[in-house]
């Protein structure tokens, strides 16, 4: 295509010179004619450059969060292996290659007291206020559209390898999809609550681990806040029962 544009440029130069002569410019001083011709050619060159820029595909620019050349997808807050995608047409293509962003210490300028847990469901992150203007940040999975929530409460209980009793609403919802959930799942590696759980007030919501770490950083849960088992163990050891929990969206 670019070759065709260059060929048309040569033809256009000849057309410009001919039309200038037809308009009587050729009868003027030869230097003036050449100057006018050069000006016209400059305009054509500028137009051609803009045309080439318009038809040349733009290359995606992605920031590598991980030194191993993995790609940081900001919206999902996950790392993707090179070549993996998160396209709606093939949402599972990268599932088992995704790695949540590792926990890290960040600056904190809010007014919440030390020990407070602050969850931002939009950014899919959990900040634990450490004091001294710092917070420990964890990547989290949150409730999918229609199942997310927000508010203030406190950690009412902590459990090591918690068992799981799917609420009646969840079991009914899954039954409509043709799936059957058990009434009770004992704690262990096959339990979707993972290695630890922090129970929020008197609600059914929890901050817990997962047996599917690749889902951390996505909005796929029924409203609970999900961390990798490694991160929930770390958070579990840092917070006592009674600390405040703030969920924002």
SS3 annotation, 37-89: HHHHHHHHHHHHHHHHHHHCCCCCCCCCCCCCCCEEECCCCEEECCCCCCCCC
User: How far lies 200's CA from each of 49, 101, 157, 216, 248, in Å?
Assistant: 60, 24, 7, 19, 14
Paired strand residues for 157: 199
40 is catalytic: no
Tokens of 29: 């001083």
CA distances from 43 to 12, 21, 30, 50 (A): 11, 18, 20, 11
Q: What is the pLDDT of residue 41?
A: 60
Instruction: Supply the pLDDT for residue 182.
Output: 83
Per the structure block, which two tokens stand in for 218? 């996505």
Q: What pLDDT is stored for residue 37 in this prediction? A: 53
- What angle do the packed helices 30-55 and 2-22 form, to 10 degrees? 150
Which long-range contacts does 44-52 make (Cβ < 8 Å, 24+ apart)? Answer: 44/9, 44/12, 44/13, 44/16, 45/9, 48/5, 48/6, 48/9, 51/5, 52/2, 52/5
- List the one residue out of 165, 170, 167, 159 whose CA is nearest residue 207: 159
Confidence at residue 207, expressed as pLDDT on a 0 to 100 scale: 94
pLDDT value, residue 145: 53
208 as an active site residue: the answer is yes
Q: Token digits for 135?
A: 């917070």
Beta-strand pair 142-143/219-221? parallel
Domain formed by 104-248, architecture: Beta Barrel (2.40)
Kindly name the residue from 97, 160, 189, 208 that is annotated as catalytic: 208
Q: Which parts of the chain sit beneath pLDDT 50?
A: 1-11, 16, 25-29, 33, 49-94, 146-147
Are residues 227 and 142 in contact, defined by beta-carbon separation less than 8 angstroms? Answer: no
Given 40, 97, 160, 224, which residue is catalytic?
224
User: Are the beta carbons of 206 and 198 closer than 8 angstroms?
Assistant: yes
Task: Read off the tokens for 129.
Answer: 């206020």
Beta bridge partners of 64: none
What does the pLDDT read at residue 144?
A: 64
**pTM: predicted TM-score of the whole model, two decimal places:** 0.59
Backbone angles phi, psi at 217, to 5 degrees: 100, 5
């Amino acid at each position: 295509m670019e070759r065709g544009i260059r060929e048309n440029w040569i033809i256009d130069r000849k057309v410009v010179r001919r039309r200038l002569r037809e308009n009587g410019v050729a009868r003027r001083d030869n230097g003036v004619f050449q100057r006018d011709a050069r000006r016209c050619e400059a305009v054509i060159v500028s137009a051609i450059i803009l045309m080439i820029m318009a038809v040349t595909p733009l290359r995606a620019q992605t920031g590598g969060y991980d030194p191993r050349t993995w790609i940081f997808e900001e919206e999902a807050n996950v790392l993707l292996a090179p070549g993996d995608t998160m396209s709606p047409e093939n949402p599972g293509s990268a599932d088992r290659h995704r790695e949540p962003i590792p926990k890290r210490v960040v600056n904190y300028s809010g007014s919440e007291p030390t020990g407070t847990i602050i969850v931002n469901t939009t950014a899919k992150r959990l900040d634990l206020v450490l004091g001294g203007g710092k917070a420990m940040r964890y990547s989290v999975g949150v409730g999918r559209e229609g199942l997310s929530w927000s508010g203030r409460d406190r950690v009412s209980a902590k459990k090591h390898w918690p068992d799981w009793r799917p609420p009646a609403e969840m079991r009914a919802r899954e039954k409509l999809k043709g799936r059957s959930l058990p009434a009770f799942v004992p704690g262990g590696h096959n339990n979707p609550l993972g290695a630890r759980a922090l129970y929020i007030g008197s609600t059914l919501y929890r901050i817990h681990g997962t047996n599917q770490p690749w889902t951390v950083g996505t909005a796929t849960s029924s409203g609970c806040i999900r961390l990798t088992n490694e991160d929930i163990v770390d958070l579990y050891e840092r917070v006592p029962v009674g600390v405040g929990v703030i969920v924002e969206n």
